[in-house]
């Protein structure tokens, strides 16, 4: 192991034989200038290192590969899975990883393991840059499984509360999990094409059976994607169930209100009629049946007109 450049540069390295792993977190223009001077990478690739809006991709050059990959990181405070970008340069005798935000704990832990443990360093850096790249990506892809398990657990929790908790709380939980699931899918899906390119293409300086090693990673990332697809079907089913329960509760409330209105309608009608300032039979100022007959006829005509209008409009 050695210190590279000036002390203020955020560049760490591990060397074993001819292979060196350069590790950079939260790069600044100074670290990019170091890479330009040390390796003579293409200027556009170096610009991508400082950019935070790159899509996952793989660029092939005569003597090195440049990759941009995104891996999931769970934001506990906002309960959403966000993408974390890593840029990787791979040559015959080196691997350079540039992590833009420093929140990929799996990558940091793997580098620390190789830095502290001689046996691990010889194991992972003792063969070729392709072998080291495989283990770096494999660790990062593997970090997505605990997040997938968390999503699955959240779905199980929603299944348990959907029939017992109030509707607003259930809807909120479904919305949060669905948002997290959508974000997670956006992170994983673009990586599949990049990993399949590594599996399919041949790069001489890798010196490994790419189809076997990167095919294994492709299987893992497809497994995560299949799990997300299953979760999507489950959350859609839970959302449909929640909507049905909401509709059912509304119908129950409307049924109860209709019963109450039906019970109160006759007393209300009687009170309304005898509350008029007209002499009616049985009232305080007893009168004839003629005013009552006129009132009942007007009520019947009005009700009949409304009934036939609704029938004509096919509301009934």
Residue pLDDT, tens place only, 260-315: 876 777 667 766 776 666 676 665 566 677 777 777 787 778 777 877 877 787 76
Superfamily in which the 11-247 domain is placed by CATH: CorA soluble domain-like (3.30.460.20)
Q: How far apart are CA 63 and CA 282, in angstroms?
A: 108
pLDDT in the model for residue 2:
42
What residue ranges of the chain have pLDDT lower than 70? 1-8, 165-167, 208, 262, 266-267, 270-271, 274-278, 280-287, 315-316
What is the pLDDT of the chain when averaged over all its residues? 84
pLDDT of residue 256: 85
Rounded Cα gap, residues 66 and 47, in angstroms: 12
Q: Which pLDDT score is estimated for 70?
A: 92
What pLDDT, on the 0 to 100 scale, is given for residue 269? Answer: 72
> Domains of the chain: which residue ranges?
11-247, 287-316
User: Three-state SS for 13?
Assistant: strand
State the pTM of this model.
0.77
Residue 274: predicted pLDDT: 65
Residue closest to 72 by CA, chosen among 112, 111, 109, 103 = 103
* Residues sharing a CB contact under 8 Å with residue 100, sequence separation 6 or more, in sequence order: 26, 27, 49, 52, 84, 85, 86, 87
Confidence (pLDDT) at 8? 66
């Amino acid at each position: 192991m050695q210190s590279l450049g000036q002390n203020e540069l955020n560049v760490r390295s591990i060397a074993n034989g001819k292979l060196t792993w350069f590790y950079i977190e939260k790069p600044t223009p100074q670290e990019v200038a170091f890479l330009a001077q040390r390796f003579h990478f293409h200027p556009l690739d170096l610009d991508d290192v400082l950019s935070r809006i790159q899509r996952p991709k793989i660029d092939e050059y005569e003597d090195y590969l440049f990759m941009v990959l995104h891996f999931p990181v769970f934001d506990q405070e906002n309960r959403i899975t966000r993408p974390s970008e890593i840029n990787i340069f791979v040559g015959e005798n080196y691997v350079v990883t540039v992590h833009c935000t420093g929140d990929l704990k799996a990558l940091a832990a793997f580098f620390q393991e190789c830095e502290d443990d001689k046996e691990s360093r010889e194991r992972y850096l003792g063969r070729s840059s392709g072998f080291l790249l495989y283990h770096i990506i494999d660790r990062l892809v593997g970090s997505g499984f605990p997040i997938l398990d968390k999503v699955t657990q959240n779905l199980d929790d929603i299944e348990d509360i959907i029939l017992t908790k109030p509707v607003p709380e259930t809807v909120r939980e479904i919305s949060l999990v669905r948002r997290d699931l959508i974000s997670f899918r956006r992170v994983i899906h673009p990586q599949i094409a990049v990993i399949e390119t590594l599996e399919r293409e041949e790069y001489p300086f890798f010196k490994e059976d790419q189809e076997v090693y990167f095919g294994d990673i492709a299987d893992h990332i497809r497994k995560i994607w299949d799990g997300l697809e299953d979760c999507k079907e489950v959350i859609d089913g839970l959302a449909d169930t929640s909507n049905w329960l909401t509709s059912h509760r509304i119908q129950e409330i409307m049924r109860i209100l209709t019963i109450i209105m039906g019970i109160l309608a006759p007393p209300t009608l009687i009170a309304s009629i005898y509350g008029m300032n007209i002499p009616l039979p049985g009232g305080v100022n007893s009168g004839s049946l003629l005013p009552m007959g006129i009132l009942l006829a007007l009520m019947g005509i009005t009700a009949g007109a409304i009934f036939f209008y609704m029938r004509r409009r096919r509301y009934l």
